[in-house]
């Protein structure tokens, strides 16, 4: 039988499969996409921990349902999704190149120019499903700063591994890493 980790969050329990990332490292795989119940129950708990902000941003893809629910809960008419590739329908895309330490590759994060206007001069809340190495929120921070916004919080449902020791992030529960 394959191994799993029991996550308790927002009054719910989820059995997360343990997945090997490398010979010495495994993670408990947390997929928020599609878990409407978890998104619904966890969002109000996260809201309570957040400072005041003007704009919600997430990077595609797994944080999107949380950002959407947060916008609904706070009755914001919009939230911003940073994309990982330029889409043909983007008007004047605003692009940041990011070097990933974990994958040793260059990736991009980009915004439609309309979203840059939404961020400029505003207090921005970064929202994600899991904060782990912190690389993706660091890239988002760079993108927001370049767009003229001010990051006022970095929040996720889960902090994985050493991320749970960070004092500069907001999260609901810890998620262990499995090192052999």
Ligand X SMILES: Nc1ncnc2[nH]cnc12
Q: Where do contacts with ligand X occur on this chain (CB under 6 A)?
A: 27-30, 130, 132, 160, 175
Closer CB to ligand X, 27 or 71, in the complex:
27
Closer CB to ligand X, 59 or 116, in the complex:
59
Q: Report in angstroms how near the CB of residue 109 gets to ligand X at its nearest.
A: 16
Closer CB to ligand X, 67 or 175, in the complex:
175
Q: Report in angstroms how near the CB of residue 105 gets to ligand X at its nearest.
A: 16
- How many other β-carbons are positioned within 10 Å of the β-carbon of residue 41? 15
Q: Report in angstroms how near the CB of residue 35 gets to ligand X at its nearest.
A: 12
Closer CB to ligand X, 29 or 85, in the complex:
29
Closer CB to ligand X, 28 or 80, in the complex:
28
Q: Report in angstroms how near the CB of residue 104 gets to ligand X at its nearest.
A: 17
Q: Note whether 49 and 153 are within 8 A (CB).
A: no
SS3 readout for the chain: CCCEEEEEECCEEEEEEEEEEECCEEEECCCCCCCHHHHHHHHHHHHCCCCCCCEEEEECCCCHHHHHHHHHHCCCCCCEEEECCCCCCCCCCEEEEEEECCCCEEEEEEECHHHHHHHCCCEEEEEEEEECCCHHHHHHHHHHHHCCCEEEEEEEEEEEHHHHHCCCCEEEEEECEEEC
Closer CB to ligand X, 35 or 54, in the complex:
35
Q: Report in angstroms how near the CB of residue 122 gets to ligand X at its nearest.
A: 27
Q: Report in angstroms how near the CB of residue 175 gets to ligand X at its nearest.
A: 6
CA gap 89, 122 in Å, rounded: 25
């Amino acid at each position: 039988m394959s191994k799993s980790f029991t996550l308790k969050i927002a009054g719910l329990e989820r059995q997360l499969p343990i997945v090997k990332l490398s010979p010495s490292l495994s993670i408990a795989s947390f997929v928020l996409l599609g878990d409407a119940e978890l998104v619904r129950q966890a969002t109000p708990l996260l809201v309570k921990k957040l400072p005041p902000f003007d704009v919600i941003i997430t990077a595609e893809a797994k944080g999107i349902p949380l950002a959407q629910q947060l916008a609904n809960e706070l009755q914001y008419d919009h939230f911003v999704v940073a994309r990982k590739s330029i889409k043909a329908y983007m008007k004047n895309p605003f692009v940041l190149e990011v070097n990933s330490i974990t994958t040793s590759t260059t990736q991009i994060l980009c915004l439609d120019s309309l979203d840059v206007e939404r961020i400029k001069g505003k207090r921005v809340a970064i929202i994600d499903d899991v904060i782990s190495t912190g690389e993706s929120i660091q890239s988002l921070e760079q993108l927001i700063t370049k767009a003229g916004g001010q990051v006022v919080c970095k929040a996720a449902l889960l902090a994985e591994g050493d991320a749970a020791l960070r004092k500069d992030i907001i999260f609901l529960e810890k998620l262990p890493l499995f090192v052999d």
